[in-house]
A and B are shown apart, each in its own frame.
Chain A
């Protein structure tokens, strides 16, 4: 679709169409009546009226009338009109331009309103699905906390020390889980509210990786974590806090969806233009589900019903914010999620020291 003739493009097209009609008119002149040449102009006006807005259409009609009168209606080279029937031709041309461009405009407006309504309905469905998913995710740990703490409060004296410890541990762990889920929701909201300011600085992937692994020590305890980083990995200029979160989400996701005891591999490599970071899992077979939805807000959970499924959507938002890209590749034995960040110019290294 054209951009409904906004700006000067429509007017330029109007001039071009009338010029083309004029050339055609010269070619026809020897064998056709001037009235038929008027038809060619009319055709040009109709085309512009269909394609562009009323302004260009009226311009085309006016230019058409002037050209036709000047070049083909005797006496030529003047705007005088001998025959009253040509005045009628002019009137028709202007009327056609007015009517068609008006019709087209109203059809367009209706289509636009329709698609706006549809988008709104889609967004509304997303919002309510997100809300119900979020409320489920927040209520589950809350239910454990309230149940366990009220048991402690009302029946604590009758319980053994081991039972009290177990309840207290549940409360503590569910509080952690609840906190993690709330942070993700807040993070997604912040990222969607508009591009946050990136606090970019020179950052080492090794440090991001060790920090993420340290923070996930418990979540990864039952997997074998392999780290494969080349020694000459360049520094990247990123918001370290956000990119660490991407690494943490990818590692956590890999561990959550694969059986205990299987490996999770973290690796990175650099080309001249970008640094690619991969988190690979090896449950034994590629994921059964379609991986193309993985980065959508609810697609990130590979069928499991734990967590809002915002982890990978957050990863994508952060990576895109850095001018990078993220994708998933099913492998023979599992899934690799990779992201690439652009390499910027290297910083000036510190002055070498005397050894």
Chain B
């Protein structure tokens, strides 16, 4: 089974944080490669054939953003970003630069491992994502453009389908406002955030059991949305 052990590159300058990440990731069945600085990380990402990179945005030698861009320039490997709270702008920047998701520091290890699992799973099954989405109270078949709620047919508009498909393509991970607006409405609407507010409300009304306590169509305040489906 050794071949199935994914290699995770941890780019983080604090040795104490690297330690518990190493312990927890090893326990999770990963091979861990550690880099304490950005330049080291860019080399290690290639030589160790990493399957996933966890990148801290605050590195001593260069901006974590540069590491993300450098890796993205040659590899589609999933990239998870570690960033401090209250830095929505840098989270968005990292996501737009090609990161797949972020975990906010300080974090509990369970939260990070969940993101690692999602990222590794998506790597194994890329491109389209799921085509049948199972919600608590509803079911949507993106390919056949069919939806039902508690056994009864449910009408979704073409744009609602398209928005859901964009979220499903990143299932479990965050989609930024800009990404969704560009993919659903086109580049001319990349700043029309209110379109998303209106359509997400419609979707929650149709698909969530309690739209005010959504379980699947989650808001990441200031950044975007995340579709979470049960496994």
Residues of A within 8 A of B (CB): 172, 175, 179, 183, 186-187, 199, 201-204, 206-211, 213-214, 227, 229, 235, 239-241, 244, 347, 349-350, 353-355
A229 to B104, CA, bound (A): 30
- The reply to whether B221 and A353 contact each other, CB–CB distance below 8 Å, is no
Chain B residue at minimum C-beta to C-beta distance from A187? B86
**B169-212 Cβ-contact flags toward A at 8 Å (1 or 0):** 00000000100000001000000111101111100000000011
- The reply to whether A172 and B194 contact each other, CB–CB distance below 8 Å, is no
A355 to B155, CA, bound (A): 9
- The reply to whether A347 and B88 contact each other, CB–CB distance below 8 Å, is no
Cβ contacts under 8 Å, B194 to chain A: 202, 235, 347, 349
A183-B89 in contact given A202-B194, A213-B213 (Cβ < 8 Å): no
- The reply to whether B157 and A355 contact each other, CB–CB distance below 8 Å, is yes
A207-B219 in contact given A179-B106, A202-B194, A353-B157 (Cβ < 8 Å): yes
A208-B222 in contact given A350-B195, A353-B157, A355-B157 (Cβ < 8 Å): no
Q: How large is the interface on B (under 10, 10 to 19, 20 to 34, 35 or more residues)?
A: 20 to 34
Cβ contacts under 8 Å, A203 to chain B: 193, 197
A355 to B195, CA, bound (A): 17
Chain A residue at minimum C-beta to C-beta distance from B208? A210
Interface residues of B in 33-72 (CB under 8 A from A): none
A269 to B106, CA, bound (A): 35
Residues of B within 8 A of A (CB): 85-86, 88-89, 106, 108, 155, 157-159, 177, 185, 192-195, 197-201, 211-214, 218-219, 221-222
Cβ contacts under 8 Å, B106 to chain A: 175, 179
A247 to B158, CA, bound (A): 34
A207 to B219, CA, bound (A): 6
A241-B221 in contact given A213-B213, A227-B212 (Cβ < 8 Å): yes
A207-B198 in contact given A199-B89, A350-B192 (Cβ < 8 Å): no
Q: List 9 A-B contacts (CB under 8 A).
A: A172-B108, A202-B197, A207-B200, A229-B212, A235-B194, A235-B197, A239-B222, A347-B194, A353-B159
- The reply to whether B222 and A199 contact each other, CB–CB distance below 8 Å, is yes
- The reply to whether A206 and B201 contact each other, CB–CB distance below 8 Å, is yes
Cβ contacts under 8 Å, B214 to chain A: 210
A203 to B192, CA, bound (A): 11
- The reply to whether A206 and B212 contact each other, CB–CB distance below 8 Å, is yes
Which of A201, A207, A208, A355 has its CB near the most chain B CB atoms (within 10 A)?
A207
A204-B197 in contact given A172-B108, A241-B222, A353-B157 (Cβ < 8 Å): yes
A211-B221 in contact given A175-B106, A235-B197, A347-B194 (Cβ < 8 Å): yes
Cβ contacts under 8 Å, B197 to chain A: 202-204, 207, 235
Chain A residue at minimum C-beta to C-beta distance from B155? A355
Cβ contacts under 8 Å, B222 to chain A: 199, 239-241
Q: How distant is A348 from chain B, measured CB to nearest CB, in Å?
A: 8
- The reply to whether B221 and A349 contact each other, CB–CB distance below 8 Å, is no
